[in-house]
Amino acid sequence: MSGRVITGRTKVLAVLGNPIAHSLSPPMHNAWLAAAGIDATYVALPIEGDVFAALPSFGLYGANVTVPHKERAAAIATQRDEAVARLGAANVLRFGPNGVAAFNTDAPGFVASLDEAAPGWRDRVKTALVIGAGGAARAIAWGLAAAGVEKLLVSNRTEARALEVCAVCPRAAPWPWAYLGDAFAKADLIVNATSLGLAGGPSPDWPIEAAAPHALVVDAVYKPLETPLLAQARARGLATVDGLGMLIHQGALAFEIWFGVKPDTRAARGLLNELLARG
């Protein structure tokens, strides 16, 4: 018989979200589990919010949590890491006899993706522009602040949400959406953390001509891998980082939390590139 045999002892992990069928986490984690020879399986569960409180009694070993449940995940935890405590959102849960531990690996995962794709960025980036103020933007802004970036500008269409991000993020200040071009000019690092450009959806004509020649341009969107922002940046000769690294590194940090093993992030990129190319 080939392949893994799932028995009554096999640990079950899941990504919880709604919708969730599009998630790349199951193939990524199952490949890592197989490579590490761990008797566990990872599935996608499209659960509703009202079952969340019962989650600790499902018998899951661990979970990733995505839209729209990250705040609920933080709320059911009995232990929270610093990012979860500050942001009120968790993307990783570990279930155990002593309760539910919650972690936010989106923030360090974003930073790890920069470390991998743009080594030396920490020395070059003094001012970063984070565009957006949803869950992704919040984690990215927090991750950059925790990594020691001196100044964070947060620009969002709805300014009240940018103010909320700045309230939880050290060294962050809101920047008016109408003057985004001026923020592009000031930033050594520009990150799109909105859903603009996702899956061929609308994307503005970004003021990329205002960016400094040394600016590093990053998109949290990975579908498509080359977003309109990254295409504009590349056309201007700027260095770019795509959104796949954040997905892979938040997952790798989760895997390490559950199993104490660092998985192969390069192999994951190969697999996910292949799956994304298939559409």
d(C-alpha 98, C-alpha 95), whole Å: 8
* Rounded (10°) CA dihedral 93, 256, 245, 67: -10
Decide if residue 135 touches ligand ATR (CB under 6 A): yes
**What are φ and ψ of residue 237, in 5° steps?**
85, 15
Site track 182-221 with ligand ATR (rule: CB under 6 A), x = hit: ------------xxx-----x-------------------
The residue of the chain with the least Cβ separation from ligand ATR equals 134
3-state DSSP helix/strand/coil percent for the chain, to nearest 5?
A: 45, 20, 35
Decide if residue 158 touches ligand ATR (CB under 6 A): yes
* Cβ neighbours, 10 Å, residue 99: 13
Q: Residue 35 CB, nearest distance to ligand ATR (Å)?
A: 29
- 70 labelled catalytic: yes
When the beta carbons of 56 and 88 are compared against ligand ATR, the nearer one is 88
Which residues have a Cβ under 8 Å from the Cβ of 98 and sit 6 or more positions away?
A: 78
Decide if residue 172 touches ligand ATR (CB under 6 A): no
Q: Residue 73 CB, nearest distance to ligand ATR (Å)?
A: 13
Count of residues in contact with ligand ATR, rule CB under 6 A:
15
> Would you list the DSSP string of 87-150?
HS--SEEEEETTEEEEE--HHHHHHHHHHHHSTTHHHH-SEEEEE--SHHHHHHHHHHHHTT-S
When the beta carbons of 40 and 92 are compared against ligand ATR, the nearer one is 92
Q: Residue 27 CB, nearest distance to ligand ATR (Å)?
A: 21
Q: Return the residue of 156, 232, 250, 265 that touches ligand ATR, per CB under 6 A.
A: 156
> What are the beta bridge partners of residue 42?
13
d(C-alpha 97, C-alpha 114), whole Å: 36
Query: Which of these is catalytic: 11, 70, 223, 262?
Result: 70
Decide if residue 240 touches ligand ATR (CB under 6 A): no
When the beta carbons of 31 and 190 are compared against ligand ATR, the nearer one is 190
User: What does the binding site for ligand ATR look like in residue numbers (CB under 6 A)?
Assistant: 67, 132-137, 156-158, 161, 194-196, 202
Which positions are catalytic?
70
